[in-house]
Chain A
């Protein structure tokens, strides 16, 4: 059996993060992402996730904050323009549910993460890939210098994603 493959449809969906500032939630989105997803439930090795997000596309609706997030103390988008996720381990958890384990690269840090995802039909052969997961921003050196403070800028950041996938010919 061949793997089923899809590409992420640009702009169709959202990647939202929620951090905290002074105890209150602060949300932002990334609008520019791309990727290719293959799921092979028959083989242990056929699956592959490759997703990249352009960090400069961050939008918190507060221009000064976006500028700071793109800057050297946070994403440093000039030096590391992409956040990358790469996985070859996709384990089925149930109908339309998988556990994806792979490497996340943010800035100069690469760590192994494991994210539960859902795959649901979205009409016309398309699919919707969604999930939720959280990270500790300091694990990835997001927030240097004064921003390493976690009392006023929370360490934990929630990530919520829901993107549209378009089927493509198998790998």
Chain B
């Protein structure tokens, strides 16, 4: 397949296409994956820290950043899913039960990444706090202030957060398991600057 080459590819002497190929994730999918992974980490740090604080300026600032970054993340996830529809990811190398596990866990990750910002937005609206995106514009309130709803949305947001953390830990574990035990290319095909993305798609 004649894919577009980027300068970085030439410098490593190894072609990483913009789009996904049957062998590996392209630059767009990789960038979005790692950017979103970093943002999710920041979301946990800010969210947990904010939740541990009483009403204070520090809590206000942390929550403001948490909301703005969370909305950014939401947009990136939508972009990522759109890109995934446009450029199919490489097929899962594993066989039946593992392949299903991978599909399920990736599906759950996407679902949580989409649901958490909406629940967070609902939580903020129900708490009578309008959400602003980095102070540049305000989002409409999804609901009128409602203490009971705020309580349930907080519980949902928290439950989803811990579910997400669990799936991410399993996900990272699975990535290393593929790399060190199964010795296939599942990890390397999500990494830039590697030649191993070209390795055979099938474990021995």
Whether A24 contacts B138 in the complex (CB less than 8 A), given A60-B128, A61-B145, A62-B128, comes out as yes
Inter-subunit contact B145/A153 (CB<8 Å): no
Q: Which of A139-171 contact B (CB under 8 A)?
A: 146-147, 149, 152-153
Binds B, one of A6-14, A45-53, A63-71, A89-97: A63-71
> Would you call B61 an interface residue if the criterion is a C-beta within 8 Å of the partner chain's C-beta atoms?
yes
User: In the complex, what residue of chain A is closest to B59 when comparing beta carbons?
Assistant: A64
> In the bound complex, what is the Cα–Cα distance between A68 and B138 (angstroms)?
24
Inter-subunit contact A146/B132 (CB<8 Å): no
> Would you call B85 an interface residue if the criterion is a C-beta within 8 Å of the partner chain's C-beta atoms?
no
Inter-subunit contact A152/B57 (CB<8 Å): yes
Q: Which of A64-81 contact B (CB under 8 A)?
A: 64-65, 67-68
> Would you call A114 an interface residue if the criterion is a C-beta within 8 Å of the partner chain's C-beta atoms?
no
User: In the complex, what residue of chain B is closest to A62 when comparing beta carbons?
Assistant: B128
Q: Which of B64, B130, B147 contacts A26 (CB 8 A)?
A: B130
> Would you call B7 an interface residue if the criterion is a C-beta within 8 Å of the partner chain's C-beta atoms?
no
Whether A64 contacts B55 in the complex (CB less than 8 A), given A152-B60, A152-B64, comes out as yes
> In the bound complex, what is the Cα–Cα distance between A167 and B147 (angstroms)?
39
Whether A149 contacts B55 in the complex (CB less than 8 A), given A23-B132, A60-B128, comes out as no
Q: Which residues of B sit under 8 angstroms from A23, Cβ to Cβ?
A: 64, 132, 134-136, 138
> Would you call B131 an interface residue if the criterion is a C-beta within 8 Å of the partner chain's C-beta atoms?
yes
Contact with A along B169-204 (1 / 0, CB 8 A): 000000000000000000000000000000000000
Interface contacts beyond A23-B64, A24-B130, A61-B145: sample of 4 additional A-B pairs, CB < 8 Å, sorted by A = A62-B127, A62-B145, A65-B128, A146-B58
Residues in B lying within 8 Å of A, measured CB to CB: 55-58, 60-61, 63-64, 67, 127-132, 134-136, 138, 145, 147
